[in-house]
Amino acid sequence: MSEAYSRKLGDDLLRPLLETSWRFYLIVAVLGSIVLMGLGTWMYQMYMGFGMTGINNPIFWAFYITNFVFWIGISHAGTLISAILRLVNAGWRRPVTRCAEVITAFALMIGAMFPIIHLGRPWLFFWLVPYPSSRQIWPNFRSPLVWDFFAITTYLTGSVLFLVLPMIPDFALVRDRTTGLRRKIYGALALGWQGTPKQWHRLESAMSIMAIAIIPVAVSVHTIVSFDFSMAPVPMWHSTMFGPYFVAGAIFSGIAGLIIAMAALRKFLHLEEYLHPVHFQNLGKLLLMMSLLWGYFVFAERLTVWYGNESAEIAVLRVTQKGSFAPLYWTMVVVNFVIPVSILSIKRLRTIAGCVVASFGVLVGMWLERFLIVVPSLGHKYLPYSWGTYRPRPVELLITTSTFAAMCLLYTLFAKFVPIISIWELKVGEQEPHETAQERSARVLGEARP
Amino acid sequence: MSAVYALYSSPDAAQRAVNGLYAAGIAQADVVVMSGEPFEAQPFAHRDSATWLWYIACLGGFVGLGFSTWLTRMTELAWPLQTGNMPIVAWWPNLIVIFELTMLGAILATVLTLFVTAKLPGRLPKLYDPEVTNGKILVGVENPAAATLPALERALMAGGAAELKRS
């Protein structure tokens, strides 16, 4: 790879770090205000009590648990996709991986906050932490809520390390290109990276091991989140397919989140030269595949329940498909299946704009899906005298809105202070021989001939 | 002078310089190579490639496995409350905690081994040039013996360097 290209890469991808426009401050101010409003609302909820929310008997899980499942699902965008693409050595992954891995880290942090918000008394969170109380009582490791603690902690630790390790050589690049305080800060973050063959080899080996380790962990996290539901004898929850159903849904919403983040980065940071339409095309194909898989899971779930004709489950099925939740249910079907399949299965429509439109729909649809799993089932348990419904109150709406702003704010700040595309990995990509389709087919056919 | 080095624009040129240094009698361990990206196709990139990282990751996984097995069993026996008609030591749910801590052990062992073997965090050595991260490849020798200096300089220039540098 030419030295000139190396310099150009550095110039282009470090520009957001070294130059700050007024738009950055405006975005941070707006998003920061919404996040502060959300924090204030949470304080208010703590002060006034959990009665400020719409949560009441029999629906004790609602917006906050919906958000928890939604954000943990979004977290599957990054590390899982990045690890799979890394293992299969997909060359087109190089500009995508870091954009994706960041989503995982921040979405997990936001998602993990929701059970704490939902506690009502968050200062008792430490009861979940596995250490004995003063009476030597440990948390019950047979409880799915404690499994969540272990799964999220492992995934968050692994994802943050998976994100941070390949950032070290890029921090060294920033260190060598800056002066003053910036040089000191990035010098500290670069950990004295020199780029010796030994360091490169160890880093790449470690990334391979991490990629292998993180894939089953990512799958386990959302499976365990699904166990929060499927371990309970609640209509339409107690299902063996919830694990794979949740994992597929998580990857589905994760890819949608990644496409939107990449499109925003491409537009606002002018990364058109690095995030090509082909990246969106490929992710669009993945999104299409996951949309079909999601449709298959929903069909399998609904058909089984309908055919089984068990009265409590049929009550939930009816209320979602024909009753008060029907508008949400059919919106979910349209934005999760009809629109993405219509747009993404036609090559001409699988453009950046098409992928973004489909992805926005999927994010809305997947949030609705989580909500429709949580609320209607709790409102229609086995004994009809305990049926009830739920309406969110302003505190829940404000806190939910603020977490979306928090995600955008964290992402904006990250893109400001860290190269959002892995520069050294792009350079490695340039070392690989470029082959046209004709050259490749000629080579492969030539090799195949006796 | 504590080091002499040259910067190369191409990995082939850097490899020629490295070969020249070996031919001049410089020991492999004394030849310093630094680059802004890994060059898997070049022999110099495969120095020090033998590593126990995979085995240590597995060992970390086994430590996690052992610890979590002990933790789940010990805590259930320490206060033997029956829950949901499960046995006191309930292996099915315990497997989840055991799996997570096994993987956490492997991940932490990998990262710790990376830091130790790659000497991170550390201080930048005297033999370093910021041009490395801009695409140049540094090849040099630290504390060269005076007697070997002419041969060493010839080898570095023969590689195709524009100039010799000293630090």
pLDDT digit string, tens, across residues A377-388:
999 998 888 888
Across the interface, do B133 and A150 touch by the CB < 8 Å criterion? no
Q: Does any domain span residue A198?
A: yes
* Backbone φ/ψ region at A364: left (φ over 0), alpha (ψ -120 to 50), beta: alpha
Question: Three-state SS for A171?
Answer: helix
Across the interface, do A132 and B35 touch by the CB < 8 Å criterion? no
Q: Does any domain span residue A98?
A: yes
Q: At what angle do helices A394-417 and A22-48 cross, to 10 degrees?
A: 140
Select the residue from A94, A176, A207 to test the B interface by mutation, using most B Cβ atoms within 10 A.
A176
Q: How far is CA A293 from CA A246, A252, A285, A298, B46, in A?
A: 11, 9, 12, 9, 43
Nearest to A142 among B93, B128, B134 (CB): B93
Q: Does any domain span residue A435?
A: no
Measured at the CA of B54, the angle between CA B53 and CA B57, to 5 degrees, comes to 85
Q: Does any domain span residue B122?
A: no
> Where in the sequence is the domain holding A93, given as residue range(s)?
3-130+138-427
Q: Does any domain span residue A402?
A: yes
B92, B108: one domain: yes
| CA–CA min distance B52, chain A (Å) | 10
Across the interface, do B128 and A140 touch by the CB < 8 Å criterion? no
Q: Does any domain span residue A436?
A: no
pLDDT tens digit sequence for B134-144: 889 999 998 88
Q: Is the peptide bond preceding residue A235 cis, with omega within 30 degrees of 0?
A: no
B72, B57: one domain: yes
Give the chain B residue whose CA is nearest to the CA of A425: B37
Across the interface, do A140 and B83 touch by the CB < 8 Å criterion? yes
B162, B135: one domain: yes
Tokens of A370: 């989580």
Residue A235 φ then ψ, to 5°: -55, 130
Give the chain B residue whose CA is nearest to the CA of A225: B96
Q: What is the DSSP letter of A104?
A: H
Closest CA to A113 of A68, A60, A83, A48: A68
Across the interface, do B34 and A210 touch by the CB < 8 Å criterion? no
Tokens of A307: 């055919």
Q: Does any domain span residue B85?
A: yes
Closest CA to A28 of A268, A298, A373, A281: A268
B70, B89: one domain: yes
Across the interface, do B94 and A136 touch by the CB < 8 Å criterion? no
Q: Does any domain span residue B59?
A: yes
B109, B131: one domain: no
Measured at the CA of B116, the angle between CA B113 and CA B119, to 5 degrees, comes to 140
B64, B87: one domain: yes
ipTM, two decimals? 0.93
Q: Which CATH number fits the domain that encloses residue A363?
A: 1.20.1630.10
Residue pointed to by tokens 């980065």: A265
Give me the number of domains chain A comprises: 1
pLDDT tens digit sequence for A327-339: 999 999 999 999 9
| CA–CA min distance A220, chain B (Å) | 8
* Cβ contact B20:B155 at 8 Å: yes
Question: What per-residue confidence (pLDDT) applies to A448?
Answer: 47
Chain-centroid distance, C-alpha A408: 13
Q: Based on the number of CB atoms within 10 Å of its own CB, is B48 exposed (0-12), middle (13-18) or buried (19 or more)?
A: middle
B3-8/B164-166 β-pairing = antiparallel
Which residues of chain A are within 8 Å of residue B34 when distances are taken between CB atoms?
A: 194-196
Q: Does any domain span residue A449?
A: no
CB environment A72-87: b (16+ within 10 A), e (fewer): bbbbbbbbbbbbbbbe
Q: Does any domain span residue B63?
A: yes
Question: What per-residue confidence (pLDDT) applies to A207?
Answer: 94
Closest CA to A242 of A377, A142, A365, A100: A377
Sites in chain B below the pLDDT cut of 70: 1, 162
Q: Which CATH number fits the domain that encloses residue B150?
A: 3.30.70
Q: Does any domain span residue A450?
A: no
Tokens of A415: 């893109």
B104, B84: one domain: yes
> Where in the sequence is the domain holding B108, given as residue range(s)?
53-117
Compute and round to an integer the Cα radius of gyration of chain B.
25
Report how far residue A292's alpha carbon sits from residue A296's, in angstroms, rounded to the nearest whole number. 6
| CA–CA min distance A94, chain B (Å) | 13
Give me the number of domains chain B comprises: 2
Q: How many CA atoms lie within 13 A of A224 on its CB side?
A: 28
pLDDT in tens, chain A (450 residues): 567 778 888 888 898 888 888 999 999 999 999 999 999 999 999 999 999 999 988 999 999 999 999 999 998 778 888 888 888 888 788 888 999 899 999 999 999 999 999 988 889 888 878 888 777 788 888 888 899 999 999 999 999 999 999 999 999 999 999 999 999 999 999 999 999 999 999 999 999 999 999 999 999 999 999 999 999 999 999 999 999 999 999 999 999 999 999 999 999 888 888 899 999 999 999 999 999 999 999 999 999 999 999 999 999 999 999 999 999 999 999 999 999 999 999 999 999 999 999 999 999 999 999 999 999 999 999 888 888 889 999 999 999 999 999 999 999 999 999 999 999 998 888 776 655 555 655 654 555 444
Q: How do the residues of chain A divide into helix, strand and coil, expressed in percent and rounded to 5? A: 75, 0, 20
Nearest to B38 among A130, A161, A204 (CB): A204
Q: Does any domain span residue A283?
A: yes
pTM of the model: 0.90
Report how far residue A10's alpha carbon sits from residue B78's, in angstroms, rounded to the nearest whole number. 58
Question: What per-residue confidence (pLDDT) applies to A450?
Answer: 46
